Amino acid sequence: MAVAEAAPELLSPAEIDRAFRDPFSPSKRTKATSWIVLLAVLTAFPLVFTNPAVTSIGVFTMFFLLAVVGWNIFSGYSGYISIGHAVYYGFGQYTVALLIMHLGITSGVSELAIVPLAGLAGAAVAVPVGLLVLRVRRHTFIVLTIAVMFIFQLLAFNFPSITGGSTGLNVTPPPWSGNDYNLPFYYIALGTAAIGLLTSWAVRRSKFGLGLLAIRDDEDRAKGLGIKVTRAKLIALVLSAFFVGIAGGLYAIFIGQVFPQFAFTPFYDLYLAVFAFVGGLGTLSGPVFGALLLGPLQQYFELQFGATTLYLIIYGVLFVVILLALPRGIVPSLADRYRTFLASRWRRAEERRGVEGSGVTAGSMIASAPGAAPAERGGS
């Protein structure tokens, strides 16, 4: 209510506009520039830090980046938190491993060339899985996604003739060495993540995306407005599964082995959910920040403390701290604080200036906020 108590100086229409719209709204150009700078930094990274230990952390981070951007297209926009995206991740892994094995592919380039099929496999399996799990909402949905994920893990264990069971499958690694080995994976994952981000952006801007956001807010209302909710959710899930499937395919070739418990693993979705939550669920840039901040941290923890799973506790604590301090995630919370800061600074500047203008004052605008003016003006 600090505004209402402010001295009633007169504001021009443009200034009222500024006061009641978003005081911090980066221009399209600023946004585009930031993305290009980020892309340039990520592109240059493995060329600057050539140590294979560092670039392999980079590769895993890019895999996470790709997957979390995909995950966000479904869970972030629709609000359906999936802890079962490892289904598509694992499906991508097995698809690539089986194809390489049965087609006898040996060259690294051809191995990477079949990775898009991992994405398609993930997307394809998302249709029946989606039709099943999307029948329920909220907590039930979360539990059901986990259950379905474990069913796939059990299937992978129990069909050794296809999956190799608990002995897993071996993928002949591409015959590259040293740092050269990491680079193709790094750039393919980065490039696919960029495509994923463009997809995410296009979804967010589209009517389809608006429908998803409406579903996130209130699904029944969305239905009442004529949105075909099941179809919208399923399309988002399929898009999302495509990118996660590609992450799985790349991972299988990079690591050279596929095991049921690492392909269909609950940890994978915990990472994705934490990255997205920390960065800012359902925003375009949030998952990117989340993956770039926490991806390397996850790798560091795993390398340092990987012998035990104690690092998961540290991770959990970090998650809780961020949820408490910045409940909406880093990007939305910081953006809000910055807006508040700019707005208060602007207000103080206005108080000092005391501008004369159209006769509308900050105080009167606030006082009439419940809409006294609009209805009268509407008649003209």
Binding region for other proteins (CB under 8 A): 20-22, 25, 207, 210-211, 213-214, 216-218, 221-227, 369-375, 377-379
3-class DSSP state for residue 11?
strand
User: Please, what is the minimum distance in Å from the beta carbon of residue 102 to other proteins?
Assistant: 45
Nearest approach, Cβ of 11 to other proteins (angstroms)?
14
Given the complex with other proteins, which of 220 and 307 has the nearer CB atom?
A: 220
Nearer to other proteins, 202 or 314 (CB): 202
Q: Which lies closer to other proteins via its Cβ, residue 19 or residue 143?
A: 19
Shortest CB 126 distance to other proteins, Å: 24
Using DSSP's 3-state secondary structure scheme, residue 327 falls into: coil
Q: How many CB atoms lie within 10 A of CB 119?
A: 25
Angle formed at CA 43 by CA 245 and CA 283, multiple of 5 degrees: 55
Residue whose CB is less far from other proteins, 214 or 272? 214
For the stretch 367-376, contacts whose Cβ atoms lie closer than 8 Å and that sit 24 or more positions apart, written own/partner, are 367/4
**Judged by CB, which is closer to other proteins: 22, or 180?**
22
Closest CA to 362 of 13, 17, 18, 16: 16
Q: What are phi and psi of 74, to 5 degrees?
A: -90, -65
Residues 67 and 272 sit within 8 Å (Cβ to Cβ): yes
* Closest distance to other proteins from the beta carbon of 363 (Å): 17
Least distance (Å) from other proteins to the CB of residue 220?
Answer: 9
Q: Measure the CA dihedral 321/324/328/331, to 10°.
A: -40
CA 155 to chain centre: 28
Cβ proximity to other proteins, 325 vs 375, nearer residue: 375
CB of 288 to other proteins, least distance (A): 21
* Residue 23 or 116 with smaller CB distance to other proteins: 23
Q: How far is the CB of 272 from other proteins (least distance, A)?
A: 22
Q: What's the closest the beta carbon of residue 270 comes to other proteins, in angstroms?
A: 25
Q: Which helix (H) or strand (E) holds 360?
A: strand 360-361
**End-to-end Cα spacing for the chain:** 32
Instruction: Report in angstroms how near the CB of residue 379 gets to other proteins at its nearest.
Output: 7
Give the shortest CB-375-to-other proteins separation in angstroms: 4
Helices 229-255 and 52-71 sit at what angle, rounded to 10 degrees?
170
- Between 43 and 230, name the residue whose CB sits nearer to other proteins: 230
Cross-strand partners of 169: 258
Rounded to whole angstroms, how far apart are CA atoms 379 and 326?
44
- Contact (Cβ atoms closer than 8 angstroms) between residue 73 and residue 195: no
Alpha-carbon gap, residue 74 to 77, rounded angstroms: 6
**C-beta of 100 vs 232, nearer to other proteins:** 232
Instruction: Give the angle 268-172-153 at the CA atoms, nearest 5°.
Output: 30
* 167 or 368: CB nearest other proteins: 368
Q: What string of DSSP letters covers 202-236? A: HHHHSHHHHHHHHHHH-HHHHHHTT--HHHHHHHH
Instruction: Give counts: helices (H), strands (E), the chain.
Output: 21, 4
Cα distance between residue 272 and residue 241, in whole Å? 13
